Structure 1
Amino acid sequence: MLEDPALDRTYAALADPTRRALIVALRAGGARITDLAAPFPMTFAGVSRHVGVLEAAGLVQRERRGREHWVALRPDALETAERWIREQTEFWSSRADALAARLERSRREPEA
């Protein structure tokens, strides 16, 4: 069985819609957690916990500037997850293409 704890943390972090929304919000650039929390119907502490999960997965980095915590996206961290999906897609696409070709050949061949 293939085990990759970093990949597991990435997909677990991305499984939550709030965390995905935080990642989308960070595409515009780094932001204070206070600003990130504003549009969400939850406490600052709740958003901070979500940021902590993203941080543990390596998807964001947090920097403390005085009393404020700033968060920035680490887009390179998504590359491993993207690569895994691409490998699976390529594998299954090639299998589906081979099956389609075989079915087409069998359709064209006269029955024995």
Structure 2
Amino acid sequence: MATILLVDDSAAIRNMLKATLEPSGHRILEASGGRAGLEVVRQEALDLLICDQNMPGLDGLGLVKAIRAGSNNRDVPILILTTETSDEMKSAFRAAGASGWMSKPFTPERLETALNKLLGN
């Protein structure tokens, strides 16, 4: 199965995502913010990254830009999972190289559909 990095400053959201994804056999890694997420990106081979926008330090947009500019996991699919809904924000993420967008709250079914699409299943 896939190795998925969850980057969100909310432990509750990370726990909910983990509870949704682990039963499918995915290996789940976690980071509590963009800077910590970037460290994991540099150290692990990833199949997918799911991240929030609003995080202290390095936000989601900054994280996407840093990943796309780097060498490790440069091409990993990135799903943005956020409460942000503005078209401007969505456009900024698309321009930065995000692969998909999902608004919080999410349902397990919507998440699974998005993952299957991004992972090519």
TM over 0.5, shorter chain: no
**Class of the TM-score when normalised by the shorter of the 2 chains:** under 0.3
Structure with a larger share of its residues in strand: 2
Higher Rg: 1
TM-score, structure 2 normalization: 0.26
